[in-house]
Amino acid sequence: MRALVTGVAGFIGSHLTESLLGDGWEVIGVDCFNDNYGRATKLHNLARAREWDAFDFVPIDLSRGGLDDLVDVADVVFHLAAEPGVRDSWNQRFQLYVTNNIIATQHLLDACRRRPDVQLVYSSSSSVYGQAEAFPTSERALPRPFSPYGVTKLSAEQLCTLYAGNFGLRTVSLRFFSVYGPRQRPDMAFSRFCSAAIAGEQINVFGDGLQTRDFTFVADIVAGLRLAGSVRPEPGSVYNIGGGSQASVRDALEIIQSHLGTPLNVSYGDPEKGDVRNTSADISLARAELGFAPAVTLADGLMAQLSAALATAQLA
């Protein structure tokens, strides 16, 4: 089997690629190294994948099109490439979100029209729900994005659905809930918390820390992606992928403090525009139709992320 993984140098893409390679897949990975964080960090993410002869890296910008040759040789397309993050999606950077999240997705879908047998798995986001009215939130809930980022993720997801309806493309969209783990983007909360805690620096929290999230460890996300790539659900299907670890930010900080064994210096501030108060995933549909079952607790997942951050700090 051969997979095309877009956004291969990113947090989730690099973990998925290693999982596929470890099981004997061939992987073509593409990335354009957008400037949301350092190129050196992204190249480091690919270090293990580059050890496999079955891995081929192609630096390419999906938004410029010309993707037919890449799709033609793939059995499954895992579309993870995106301009990430709620907080940076306002103002002038919004154009980048439109280009990298919507235009790039349409170009990829157009290329897939030549291969109606290929399965495309799109990485959507719980951000499409915005301030949800019910918890846990099911796929039947009306999407109400609360940030420009959420708008672009929902737009790309709907492109997948309409290409399935109009052209019969085998698309599956997975709505990820608060993914964390080793290699998490430097700007994300747990990454910042772990780095500051290890250095003995102040941890800055947006909001009062009582906001809750359905935290999902990256290995569980990879499992969901692989299931969606192997099962043949109805084209255009949408599934929640959550970790079953709904907790407050303060709960997470207490776990980090317990693992380190030293008090944390935490400062609470105003919430950022676009951040929602709570998220919680109803994963019953993914459990029933994909066989998805999250396996990593928040305590174990944070231990893994903290251990990775400690190892990195010791090498610095």
Judge whether 149 counts as a catalytic residue. yes
Beta 26-31 vs 212-217: how paired, if at all?
A: unpaired
Say how far apart CA 199 and CA 194 lie, in whole Å: 9
β-pair type (237-241, 170-176): parallel
Q: Which domains does the chain have, with CATH numbers?
A: 2-178+218-243+280-295 (3.40.50.720)
pLDDT tens, residue order, the chain (316 aa): 999 999 999 999 999 999 999 999 999 999 999 888 889 999 999 999 999 999 999 999 999 999 999 999 999 999 999 999 898 899 888 999 999 999 999 999 999 998 989 999 999 999 999 999 999 999 999 999 999 999 999 999 999 999 999 999 999 999 999 999 999 999 999 999 999 999 999 999 999 999 999 999 999 999 999 999 999 999 999 999 999 878 999 999 999 999 999 999 999 999 999 999 999 999 999 999 999 999 999 999 999 999 999 998 887 6
Let me know: does 217 contact 184? Beta carbons within 8 Å. Answer: no
- Which of 122, 129, 149, 180 is catalytic? The answer is 149
SS3 74: coil
